[in-house]
A = this chain, B = another copy of it.
Amino acid sequence: MEQVEIPDQEPSQEKRKRMSSALEIDCPGDLRECLRNASNDGYHFIIINAVHPRYSRDLLSKNAPHVISRTDRILTGTDWNRLIVGKLTSINVDSETNHVRNYSKAILNQELGFASHLGLPAVIIRLHQRNNTNLAGILMEKLAGSNVNFQVWIQLPMIHPTCFSPICSKSEEEDVWEWWNDLRTLCHYDKRLGLMLELPDSQHIPSELEIKRWMGEPVKVLQIKTSLFLTNHYNQPVLSRNHQEIISKMLNLDVQYVIKGPKLHGKTYKPYCAYINYLGKKLFKNDAVTEFVQGCEDFLQNPLQPLTENLETLVYEVFEKDQVKYVEYQRAIQKALEDLPLSIIIPVIMVVGAGRGPLVQACLNASYILQRKVKIYAVEKNPYAINTLEDRVQNEWHGQVILVKDDMRRYKPPEEADILVSELLGSFGDNELSPECLDGAQRFLKKTGISIPVSYTSYLAPLQSSKIYNEIKNSKTADKTTESLYETPYIIHLVNYYQIAVSQPLFKFEHPNWNEVIDNDRYGKLRFPVLQNCVLTGFAGYFETVLYKDVILSINPQTYSVGMVSWFPIVFPLPEPVQVSKGETIEVAFWRSQNEEKVWYQWCLLSPHKGSIINPNGRSYFIKKH
């Protein structure tokens, strides 16, 4: 916070996705005019050959000529840096022929150097074969240097044409994802490496599984040939439903769209750009959730520790905005109230961890709907939330609520409750110590009393996301060890990811728990099938909770509570990505452990490769009990 400022206006709530599009022109005769036209037609940047092919280059001779390409003074440095992406000459640095390989390497190095000189934001390299080992070596030599600021976009068809050929048998050699995977693995998942995918024709769309896997990759650009466009009744270019479905999936990834090919729908390229913008409006799902999560995409957050650190106004406010959650809570409370025998004249409800009061309000609503009087205790330990509650007791709730400033694990109430209501769940269910808190709080619940929630279960699924792998790696600061980075779970709104298999239940907790000895430690193993070759980078965690009877809340993808925004998934990382193959099984072991001071998770990959135990004894990440 350097400047405190009243905003001039509210951020505009545009009901469309802003689409960034580019025009690909191999060798424009007049670069400035080409740029002007593209801009007039609505494009945001252009893609050209990094080096003009007019300039012949015999780089291996001693008297290499001075001239490489057009002079950089045609455009300003800022324009080169913002408006031009350079395609590199198609050469083969992995040729078996020495001369071809050496010449190709000289060309590639010169073009990378020139791109760096111009300050281009990105260069494009198209792959033509699976073996790109020498290319990876040359790229990493360059990227490891201090003054390289461009991205490298690897251009590939979404699917190899031979996959649909009746005479070719499909082999791994022709799975272009493998080409990409080999290259980026050699380049250690460098985040400057992105994908430029070519949209296939609508008869040759990859399978849904393959598309999902692409969505777990850093796709930066989708190239669309003008010949793929159909013509509608108004003679305007449109894309088929198949194509629209692919683009609709790309929307979340903020992919940029590149138009390439002859003008087939008029005298300019404007209609294509206009259509892409139209798709941004048509395909964009603008609901409460979208608005809520904007800006959080793949962003790492540390799990809250509400037990030991007081929440702040802004955090309370964000939680209170979730309508779905509190409507369900109110339904659960209402059902529980209905189930209480009428012999109980005034049921006692205790809200433990009342915060700024949303659950108290839900209780009052249920009581009003049923016209059944209740007595509510609101227990809260945060003195600043108590300040807010006191105001609501006086001005909104008119004394119907008894305010208690205490920790629910210590509080000694004057009577026992019929219903104990709490919202202590984290993204992984028990990870904010709901079990330990409710075990303490059930002291003041009648033996016949009801806990809302009744139970909760954590779920786990294997995950591919080089984006998140890089986010974690790059979150290293001077005061953190590398180990601690991946021995910590993160709360993440997952966008650029591929969930490798369906999630499975892991740990379950039920309340009240009248067992003589309560054991909240857990241990479990899960086995997931691998349906196609991919890269395992960690595990996504979710939860489902039964509030009461059939009223549930869930962030587990299979049972998701539509419209609920309070929780993002939790991600448990692995130290390094693991290549997994179709037919193999991913097996993982998970522990929930504790000592006097803290609770922690440990996890460990068992198969297809055995890993070490991550976060033993909670050495990097733990949840404080006090």
Q: Which residues of A contact B (CB under 8 A)?
A: 1-7, 20, 22, 38-39, 43-45, 66-73, 76-78, 80-83, 85, 110, 113-114, 116-119, 121-122, 147, 149-151, 254, 256, 309-310, 312-318, 356, 382-392, 403, 405, 476-478, 480
On whether A6 and B39 interact (CB within 8 A), knowing A77-B313, A478-B478, the answer reads yes
Check B72–A384 contact: CB distance below 8 A: yes
Selected A-B contacts with CB under 8 Å, 7 pairs: A5-B82, A6-B83, A66-B403, A68-B384, A71-B392, A73-B391, A118-B384
Residue numbers in B under 8 Å from A314 (CB-CB): 77-78, 80-81, 119
Smallest distance from the beta carbon of A571 to chain B beta carbons, Å?
21
User: In the complex, which of the residues A3, A147, A387, A405 has the most CB atoms of chain B within 10 Å of its own CB atom?
Assistant: A387
On whether A310 and B391 interact (CB within 8 A), knowing A44-B4, A76-B317, the answer reads no
Smallest distance from the beta carbon of A445 to chain B beta carbons, Å?
25
Check A387–B68 contact: CB distance below 8 A: yes
Residue numbers in B under 8 Å from A117 (CB-CB): 310, 312-313, 382, 384-385
User: In the complex, which of the residues A73, A76, A77, A81 has the most CB atoms of chain B within 10 Å of its own CB atom?
Assistant: A73
Which partner residue on chain B sits nearest A309 by CB separation? Answer: B147
Option from B113, B119, B356 in Cβ contact (under 8 Å) with A313: B119
Check B3–A256 contact: CB distance below 8 A: yes
Residue numbers in B under 8 Å from A72 (CB-CB): 313, 356, 384, 387-388
Smallest distance from the beta carbon of A272 to chain B beta carbons, Å?
16
Residue numbers in B under 8 Å from A254 (CB-CB): 2-3
Residue numbers in B under 8 Å from A313 (CB-CB): 72, 77, 80, 117-119
Q: Tell me the complex Cα distance, A45–B4, Å.
A: 7
Smallest distance from the beta carbon of A114 to chain B beta carbons, Å?
6
Q: Tell me the complex Cα distance, A223–B504, Å.
A: 61
Smallest distance from the beta carbon of A540 to chain B beta carbons, Å?
24
Smallest distance from the beta carbon of A253 to chain B beta carbons, Å?
11
Which partner residue on chain B sits nearest A43 by CB separation? Answer: B6
Check A383–B116 contact: CB distance below 8 A: no
Residue numbers in B under 8 Å from A386 (CB-CB): 66
Which partner residue on chain B sits nearest A392 by CB separation? Answer: B71
Q: Tell me the complex Cα distance, A446–B559, Å.
A: 86
Residue numbers in B under 8 Å from A256 (CB-CB): 3-4
User: In the complex, which of the residues A66, A68, A110, A356 has the most CB atoms of chain B within 10 Å of its own CB atom?
Assistant: A66
Residue numbers in B under 8 Å from A391 (CB-CB): 67, 70-71, 73
Listed from nearest, the 4 A-B pairs whose CB atoms lie closest are A77-B314, A71-B391, A117-B384, A1-B121
Residue numbers in B under 8 Å from A118 (CB-CB): 312-313, 384
Check B113–A150 contact: CB distance below 8 A: no
Residue numbers in B under 8 Å from A116 (CB-CB): 312
Q: Tell me the complex Cα distance, A356–B73, Å.
A: 9
Check A20–B4 contact: CB distance below 8 A: yes
On whether A122 and B1 interact (CB within 8 A), knowing A6-B82, A66-B403, A314-B78, the answer reads yes
Smallest distance from the beta carbon of A517 to chain B beta carbons, Å?
35
Smallest distance from the beta carbon of A123 to chain B beta carbons, Å?
12
Q: Tell me the complex Cα distance, A57–B309, Å.
A: 23
Smallest distance from the beta carbon of A505 to chain B beta carbons, Å?
33
Residue numbers in B under 8 Å from A477 (CB-CB): 477-478
Residue numbers in B under 8 Å from A66 (CB-CB): 383, 386-387, 389-390, 403, 405
Q: Tell me the complex Cα distance, A391–B317, Å.
A: 62
Residue numbers in B under 8 Å from A121 (CB-CB): 1, 4
Additional pairs, 8, CB under 8 Å, beyond known A80-B314, A117-B313: A4-B22, A4-B45, A4-B85, A6-B43, A6-B82, A77-B314, A118-B312, A119-B314
Which partner residue on chain B sits nearest A73 by CB separation? Answer: B388
Q: Tell me the complex Cα distance, A20–B66, Å.
A: 53
User: In the complex, which of the residues A45, A118, A478 has the most CB atoms of chain B within 10 Å of its own CB atom?
Assistant: A478
Check B5–A20 contact: CB distance below 8 A: yes
Residue numbers in B under 8 Å from A20 (CB-CB): 3-5
Q: Tell me the complex Cα distance, A46–B69, Å.
A: 58
Which partner residue on chain B sits nearest A2 by CB separation? Answer: B254
Residue numbers in B under 8 Å from A384 (CB-CB): 68, 72, 113-114, 117-118
Q: Tell me the complex Cα distance, A516–B522, Å.
A: 82
Check A7–B82 contact: CB distance below 8 A: yes
Which partner residue on chain B sits nearest A394 by CB separation? Answer: B67
Residue numbers in B under 8 Å from A147 (CB-CB): 309, 312
Q: Tell me the complex Cα distance, A385–B73, Å.
A: 10
Q: Tell me the complex Cα distance, A81–B313, Å.
A: 9
Check A71–B309 contact: CB distance below 8 A: no
Q: Tell me the complex Cα distance, A318–B78, Å.
A: 10
Residue numbers in B under 8 Å from A76 (CB-CB): 317
Which partner residue on chain B sits nearest A5 by CB separation? Answer: B44
Check A4–B122 contact: CB distance below 8 A: yes
Smallest distance from the beta carbon of A75 to chain B beta carbons, Å?
9
Which partner residue on chain B sits nearest A482 by CB separation? Answer: B478
Residue numbers in B under 8 Å from A6 (CB-CB): 38-39, 43-45, 82-83
Smallest distance from the beta carbon of A394 to chain B beta carbons, Å?
9
Option from B78, B309, B476 in Cβ contact (under 8 Å) with A478: B476
Q: Tell me the complex Cα distance, A174–B381, Å.
A: 44
Check B3–A312 contact: CB distance below 8 A: no
Check A387–B1 contact: CB distance below 8 A: no
Check B387–A317 contact: CB distance below 8 A: no
Smallest distance from the beta carbon of A14 to chain B beta carbons, Å?
14
Which partner residue on chain B sits nearest A22 by CB separation? Answer: B4
Residue numbers in B under 8 Å from A43 (CB-CB): 6
Q: Tell me the complex Cα distance, A67–B386, Å.
A: 7
Smallest distance from the beta carbon of A574 to chain B beta carbons, Å?
20
Q: Tell me the complex Cα distance, A150–B4, Å.
A: 11
Which partner residue on chain B sits nearest A474 by CB separation? Answer: B478
